[in-house]
């Protein structure tokens, strides 16, 4: 939440730092719903930064890498859904579609 608030206030550095911290915590506690959402927010932030600075993808955990983590986590959650209707509803959910669409966009960049 802190990362999103910082980004809304155009405090890009603080937002990125907070999102990285949130992702680290989510991964440490193995909380998939937070992992994919935070990965997506961080990927969007990193892609925006690269666009603002007109840079190429940095090495390491760049926008594409964390967007891929979001997509992989979404796939794992969907795979574990107890029934097909729930799986379909989750995959059709707008935030999930945005994360998957952003990975596709970043893959083409």
What CATH number corresponds to the domain at position 42? Answer: 1.25.40
Q: What is the residue range of 68's domain?
A: 2-108
- Write the DSSP symbol of residue 57: P
Report CA Rg, the chain.
Answer: 14
Name the band, by pLDDT with cuts 50, 70 and 90, for residue 67: very high
Which one, of 101, 16, 10, lies nearest residue 61 by Cα?
Answer: 16
What band does 10 get if pLDDT is binned at 50, 70 and 90?
confident
Q: pLDDT tens, 29-62?
A: 999 999 999 999 999 999 888 777 765 555 445 8
**What predicted TM-score, i.e. pTM, was given to this entire model?**
0.87
pLDDT at 51: 75
Q: What is the pLDDT of residue 59?
A: 43
d(CA 36, CA 99): 8
Averaged confidence pLDDT in the chain: 90
Q: How many CA atoms are closer than 13 Å to the CA of 103, on its beta-carbon side? A: 20
Mention every residue, 6+ apart, whose C-beta is less than 8 A from residue 77. 32, 33, 36, 90
Count the domains in the chain. Answer: 1
């Amino acid at each position: 939440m802190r990362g999103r608030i910082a980004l809304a206030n155009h405090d890009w550095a603080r937002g990125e730092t907070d999102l990285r911290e949130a992702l680290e915590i989510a991964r440490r506690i193995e909380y998939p719903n937070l992992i994919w959402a935070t990965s997506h927010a961080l990927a969007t932030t990193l892609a925006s930064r690269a666009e603002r600075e007109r840079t190429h993808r940095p090495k390491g955990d760049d926008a594409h890498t964390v967007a891929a983590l979001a997509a992989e986590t979404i796939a794992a959650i969907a795979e574990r859904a107890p029934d097909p209707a729930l799986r379909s509803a989750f995959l059709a959910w707008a935030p999930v579609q945005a994360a998957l669409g952003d990975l596709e966009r970043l893959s083409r960049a």
